[in-house]
């Protein structure tokens, strides 16, 4: 193992990436556009209506709650909709996530309401409710984090971007090197496969971790994401997750000879990972088989750990099982990738 040679590979590969303006800007612009776009779509800033869930005795789920239940229900420009009693917990959660602005429980002996204290809409609805005639309701606290969808989805978007950058940046690029004969030229030098692969991994690590950190920091400037845990812990998760995804790319890159095949294989890996890893929606409550499959994806473990740190304030120790799974996966990928590595297309 020769550090000078590894350093040379890292430097050359990084130059190539940085000078490839189209690829570089793509890996920056895509996640930013998605974060901003999603924040816009899910923020509900443009909606004139407030959304209030109502639980009451003998209220059918489809029916519109009668104004007779409480004078507050006569208020205009508010969308009152009925909620089944057993849905209470779920809707309270939605209140926490700004998907519903308020929930009121008008059942005899209950008489409560929930608002997200962080939400301006919740504040106004609370004022309206208090100034209305009728039975006085007591405030219940919303359990758990009161977060925005964008807070929940940001690790997903960054994770997806990481996944594409790692898998294509290694899997596709090395296959291209093999096909055009660059690997053959390197094989004629004293450079070993391990040195070459380490150089590729490190170069990609620095770039992907750098890009992800920068995109997170930039979007955080105006999105102000919820951050209950430590940024340092989040960085550790980012590094471990990136490493695992890169080694997964190596697995594809180690033997494949044609760019078309590697492209197909990479798509075959990334699409299920995107759907099953909880990038866009939580896997909770889905089919147990799907949940089992999702555990096979390194992205699932990365995102679960990142969200636990950001949203629940988990420590590194608490997410350690996920990190261990990731490291175990990368060791397997790395071993297969390095042992099976082929320089030429013969």
Partner 1 sequence: MNTTPILEVRNLRKHYPKVKAVDGVDFSVPTGICFGLLGPNGAGKTTTIEMMEGIIRPSSGEILYKGEPMGPRFKNEVGIQFQSTALQDFLTVRENLKFFSNLYPKNRSMDELIEICALESYLDRDARKLSGGQRQRMLLAIALVNDPEIVFLDEPTTGLDPQARLNFWELINRIKAQNKTVLLTTHYMEEAYNLCDQIAIMDHGKIIAQGSPDQLLSEHFQDVIIELPAQDFPQAAEVIPHRRLAKVNPSIEISTQDVNKTVAELLQAGASLAGLQVRQRTLEDLFLELTGKELRQ
Q: Which residues lie near partner 1 (CB under 8 A)?
A: 4-5, 7-8, 11-13, 15-16, 19-20, 177, 180-182, 184-191, 344, 346
DSSP tag of 294: H
Nearest distance from C-beta of residue 195 to partner 1, angstroms = 9
Q: Which is nearer to partner 1, 111 or 187 (CB)?
A: 187
Q: Which is nearer to partner 1, 7 or 292 (CB)?
A: 7
Q: Which is nearer to partner 1, 28 or 124 (CB)?
A: 28
DSSP 116-144: -TT-HHHHHHHHHHHHSSSS--EEEPPPS
DSSP tag of 106: -
Nearest distance from C-beta of residue 179 to partner 1, angstroms = 9
- Our CA angle for 81, 116, 71, nearest 5°, is 45
Nearest distance from C-beta of residue 21 to partner 1, angstroms = 9
Q: Which is nearer to partner 1, 6 or 147 (CB)?
A: 6
DSSP tag of 103: E
Nearest distance from C-beta of residue 27 to partner 1, angstroms = 16
DSSP strand E in 100-255: where? 102-105, 112-115, 138-140
255, 345 Cβ separation under 8 angstroms? no
Nearest distance from C-beta of residue 215 to partner 1, angstroms = 23
Q: Which is nearer to partner 1, 107 or 184 (CB)?
A: 184
- Our CA angle for 70, 73, 75, nearest 5°, is 135
Q: Which is nearer to partner 1, 187 or 291 (CB)?
A: 187
- Our CA angle for 139, 41, 146, nearest 5°, is 30
The gap between the terminal CA atoms of the chain, to the nearest Å, is: 26
Q: How far apart are CA 148 and CA 294, in angstroms?
A: 24
Q: In degrees to the nearest 10, what's the CA dihedral of 15, 21, 26, 27? A: 20
Nearest distance from C-beta of residue 345 to partner 1, angstroms = 12
């Amino acid at each position: 193992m020769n550090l000078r040679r590894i350093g040379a590979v890292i430097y050359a590969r990084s130059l190539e990436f940085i000078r490839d303006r189209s690829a570089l800007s793509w890996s920056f612009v895509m996640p930013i556009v998605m974060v901003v776009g999603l924040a816009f779509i899910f923020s509900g800033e443009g909606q004139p209506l407030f959304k209030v869930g109502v639980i009451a005795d003998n209220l059918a789920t489809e029916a519109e709650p009668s104004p007779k239940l409480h004078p507050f229900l006569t208020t205009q420009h508010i969308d009152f909709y009925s909620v089944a009693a057993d849905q209470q917990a779920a809707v309270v959660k939605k209140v926490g996530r700004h998907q519903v602005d308020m929930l009121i429980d008008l059942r005899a002996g209950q008489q409560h309401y929930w608002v997200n204290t962080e939400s301006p809409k919740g504040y106004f609805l609370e004022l309206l409710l208090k100034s209305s005639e009728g039975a006085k309701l007591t405030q219940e606290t919303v359990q758990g984090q009161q977060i925005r969808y964008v807070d929940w989805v940001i690790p997903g978007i960054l994770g997806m971007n990481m996944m594409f950058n790692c898998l294509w940046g290694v899997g596709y690029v090395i296959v291209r090197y093999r096909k055009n004969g660059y690997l053959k030229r390197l094989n004629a030098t004293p450079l070993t496969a391990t040195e070459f692969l380490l150089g590729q991994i490190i170069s990609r690590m620095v770039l992907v971790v750098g890009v992800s950190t920068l995109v997170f920091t930039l979007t955080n400037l105006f999105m102000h994401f919820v951050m209950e845990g430590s940024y340092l812990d989040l960085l550790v998760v980012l590094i471990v997750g990136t490493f695992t995804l890169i080694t997964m790319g190596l697995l594809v890159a180690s033997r494949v000879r044609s760019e078309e095949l590697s492209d197909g294989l990479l798509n075959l890996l990334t699409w299920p990972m995107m759907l099953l890893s909880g990038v866009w929606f939580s896997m909770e409550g889905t089919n147990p088989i799907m949940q089992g499959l999702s555990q096979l994806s390194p992205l699932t473990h990365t995102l679960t750990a990142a969200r636990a740190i950001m949203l629940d304030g988990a420590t590194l120790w608490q997410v350690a099982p996920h990190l261990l799974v990731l490291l175990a996966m990368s060791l397997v990928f790395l071993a297969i990738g390095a042992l099976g590595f082929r320089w030429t297309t013969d």
